[in-house]
Amino acid sequence: MNNQFRIGEDCRLLREIRNLTQTELAEEIGVGIAAINHWENMQTVPTADSLEKFYASAYRNAVRLNKIKEQFYREELNDGEVLLFHGAKSIIDGEVRTDASRNNNDFGQGFYMGETFRQAALFVSNFESSCVYAIKFHERHLAKAVFSVNTEWMLNVACFRGRLSGRISKDQLNQICKKAQEADYIIAPIADNRMYQIIDSFIDGEITDEQCRHALAATELGMQYVLKTEKAAKCAEVLERCYLCLPEKHDYVSTRSSDLRAADDKVRAARIKYRGKGKYIDELL
């Protein structure tokens, strides 16, 4: 996997969009003109400081390189291909793997991706060395499991995260997880720490499945793809490692905070509106 950022292509694109010469761009970001020339001709790799200066300059001047790339990649897809994004806290070492993540994720070990650049960036922008990988996924000839925001999905997340261990038998656990375990890849709602708290309230018998479902739907995080088998991983092609500069990260962190505040009100409203409706966890199990 090529983990170098495409600074040469991005340099040329930025200069054309803003109608800048190499000299003007060099002066703007505080490097020598030779550096710009070397970057564009792939003769040298910029330092971490130079990368930040370049991408931050583009972002502050309203050139959204990552959004442009997402649009282009999406337009170039063929039938059976999906554009996805993986937020990474650091460099992915080697090819796409399904065994590099933790066991207690939503669906256990796997390679997790979101449907948009924004989704992926929102989850990693708090980390210093984070970046986003653009990935083309070929869906052909794979076994798929699709989940929506419902009781089936809630129980699966609870199972894979170990929240039902000791409460039900191993046979019951296997029966709940069977659909996910037999799939090469999974399409399901994205869950975050706040959603886990809502699911925990359901598992602890504090709210019904109906309350839980509507509260979870209020979070509106979108869908994720989870590659579970080596066969599925081989169908994932990394297109590019995309740089997240500090101003862009700050905007995503701010957006995330704003989204959380708005969603929290919806969650509280859902718990009130659907109080007493549906079934509690013990009734379901």
26-65 pLDDT per residue, tens: 999 999 999 999 999 989 889 999 999 999 999 999 999 9
The verdict on pTM exceeding 0.85 is yes
Q: Does 4.10.780.10 match the CATH number of domain 1-63?
A: no
Sheet with 236-242: list strands edge to edge: 144-146, 185-189, 223-227, 111-114, 81-88, 131-138, 236-242
**219, amino acid identity:** T
104 and 161 in contact (C-beta within 8 Å)? yes
Q: What mean pLDDT, rounded, does the chain reach?
A: 88
Residue closest to 256 by CA, chosen among 212, 200, 163, 190: 190
Backbone angles phi, psi at 248, to 5 degrees: -70, -40
pLDDT of residue 35: 94
Domain ranges of the chain: 1-63, 64-284
6 and 55 in contact (C-beta within 8 Å)? no
Q: How far apart are CA 96 and CA 94, in angstroms?
A: 7
